[in-house]
Amino acid sequence: MKCIMFHQLFVLIDIFFTIGMADTRLVNHSDNLTDITWAHAVDSQKYLLEVLNSDIDFIEADILLGVIDSNTDNEHLIPIMAHPPATTSDITLESFLEQIQNHNRIVEPSKVKGVKLDFKTIDAFEASISIINNIYDMQSFPTWINADILAGPVNNTETIPVDPKRFFDGIKQLGPVVLSIGWTTKWSQSSLEGCYTKEHINAMTSTINENLSDEHGKSITFPVRAGIAANSLEHLTSLYETLKEKHNVTFTIWSSENDAVDVEKLRQFIFNFGVNKVYVDVPTDLKNQLHLGNVSLL
Ligand SMILES: *[C@@H]1O[C@H](CO)[C@@H](O)[C@H](O)[C@H]1NC(C)=O
Ligand SMILES: *[C@@H]1O[C@H](CO)[C@@H](O)[C@H](O)[C@H]1NC(C)=O
Ligand SMILES: *[C@@H]1O[C@H](CO)[C@@H](O)[C@H](O)[C@H]1NC(C)=O
Ligand SMILES: *[C@@H]1O[C@H](CO)[C@@H](O)[C@H](O)[C@H]1NC(C)=O
Ligand SMILES: *[C@@H]1O[C@H](CO)[C@@H](O)[C@H](O)[C@H]1NC(C)=O
Ligand SMILES: *[C@@H]1O[C@H](CO)[C@@H](O)[C@H](O)[C@H]1NC(C)=O
């Protein structure tokens, strides 16, 4: 039983987290990360403007090498905002970052938006490094760099992870960003079997220890898929324990629409680590079922 759990042992340990001031939100690192709200696939000009005018805290978007719709020169590929299979967009990474930064510079601190840049290929990431460094004030505004750098559950062999060595080399050239690094996943609407295994955890800790050996205190968030994370409390706890002395470690729970999720186990996962350690970026329906305001339901 690779996923065997004795989560009841852990459940009560961390329940009494400090209650933070939710209104400081991103700037002062809210103590309640589950309260942070997300917009996804903000890959067009229109959607970006909508999100900038909303209360959403974090803008997640995808970067590919491609061309701008209006551009007739389609030989020269640049980082654009798009999700595969799209290869064109109406907005470049450069313009995307400029607009978010312009917004962040004029609003009051509590209205600052974070940005999570999701890279599906190493080429897109490497081509984006100088753009991010030249344009974006990573020191002042939360900036996450996301990639799946290892093969993950359940037996995922279909998606090719982003090359970890080249990814970390790129990270070292960037300013102060949060690393959002995970495993590729394969999950379904029915399966409730499978977890992040010991092997997945060991592969992650070794790649981090080897490639970030000279960089203490990096902030790392592990994006974990809700249905699988719910089955992986023990193993993800050991990942956390192994890395926490050296790095600032959190989890970001995400879920595809209609993924199978054991809601009760996911609640236990979240309250085990505490709402100051877990971002919850899942569909509204699932989030409501989690009753995050009610610890006593445990
Ligand atoms: C963040 O914390 C600092 C120092 O504690 C405080 O001066 C500042 O007003 C806080 N910012 C927000 C947005 O609450
Ligand atoms: C994953 O692979 C293992 C070992 O090959 C196998 O026992 C298991 O049934 C597979 N799981 C799924 C969900 O395909
Ligand atoms: C970095 O990570 C990769 C992938 O896990 C590994 O092959 C490599 O040996 C690691 N260490 C260094 C110093 O690059
Ligand atoms: C984690 O981040 C906090 C606040 O940014 C910082 O004070 C602390 O030193 C960091 N911890 C580690 C282990 O780097
Ligand atoms: C944390 O945020 C969630 C979602 O907004 C809310 O339901 C919950 O009451 C908050 N918990 C604390 C301790 O502030
Ligand atoms: C929390 O759950 C308990 C048990 O189901 C229930 O009695 C209580 O009313 C709930 N509290 C809130 C604030 O929803």
The pLDDT-based confidence of 159 (bands split at 50, 70, 90) is confident
Residue 257 has pLDDT above 70, yes or no: yes
Residue to probe by mutation, ligand 4, list 208, 248, 250, 277, most atoms within 8 Å of CB: 248
- Nearest-atom index, ligand 5, CA of 291: 7
pLDDT tens digit sequence for 53-79: 999 999 999 999 999 987 766 678 999
Token pair for 225:
């898929």
CB 293, CB 47: distance < 8 Å: no
Residue 6 has pLDDT above 60, yes or no: no
- Which residues partner with 221 through β-bridges? 180, 250
Q: Is 219 in the pocket of ligand 3 (CB under 6 A)?
A: no
Ligand of minimum distance to the alpha carbon of 191: 2
Alpha carbon nearest to ligand 5 atom 11, residue: 293
Q: Where are the alpha helices (DSSP H) in the chain?
A: 8-11, 45-52, 93-106, 122-135, 164-173, 198-211, 226-229, 233-243, 263-273, 284-289
- Nearest-atom index, ligand 3, CA of 203: 5
- Please state whether the predicted TM-score (pTM) of the whole model is above 0.75: yes
Task: Write down the pLDDT at residue 20.
Answer: 30
Average pLDDT, the chain: 88
pLDDT tens digit sequence for 74-105: 678 999 999 989 999 999 999 999 999 999 99
Rounded Cα–Cα distance for residues 159 and 150 (Å): 10
Alpha carbon nearest to ligand 2 atom 7, residue: 155
pLDDT tens digit sequence for 112-145: 999 999 999 999 999 999 999 999 999 999 999 9
Task: Write down the pLDDT at residue 188.
Answer: 83
Ligand of minimum distance to the alpha carbon of 112: 1
**Burial group, residue 45, by CB count within 10 angstroms (0-12, 13-18, 19+):** middle
Q: Tell me, in angstroms, the distance from the centre of ligand 1 to residue 148's CA.
A: 33
Q: Tell me, in angstroms, the distance from the centre of ligand 4 to residue 218's CA.
A: 8
